[in-house]
Amino acid sequence: QLSSSPPTFVIISNSGKGVHFSYERYLVNRFREGLELDRVPLRLIFKKKKDRRSRNK
């Protein structure tokens, strides 16, 4: 969790473009359900995973 107002979560993925809006809504609903955050606005930030090969050079 990155921040607490509103709760902000960073999702690391292979693509920094994010995901389809319906999958983002699904993720938000799962966070709300799992963390019991009913009626709390949540923010998801999608970041691209760093390339491990470039780090080892």
Query: pLDDT tens digit string along 40-55?
Result: 899 998 888 887 776 5
Q: Are strands 43-48 and 7-13 parallel, antiparallel or unpaired?
A: parallel
Per-residue pLDDT at 12: 87
Segment 12-33, tens digit of pLDDT: 888 767 788 999 999 999 999 9
**Cα-based distances in Å from 48 to 8, 33, 38, 39:** 16, 26, 29, 29
Report field, pTM of the whole predicted structure over 0.75: no
Whether residue 2 is predicted with pLDDT greater than 70 in this model: the reply is no
3-state secondary structure of 39: coil
Length of the chain: 57
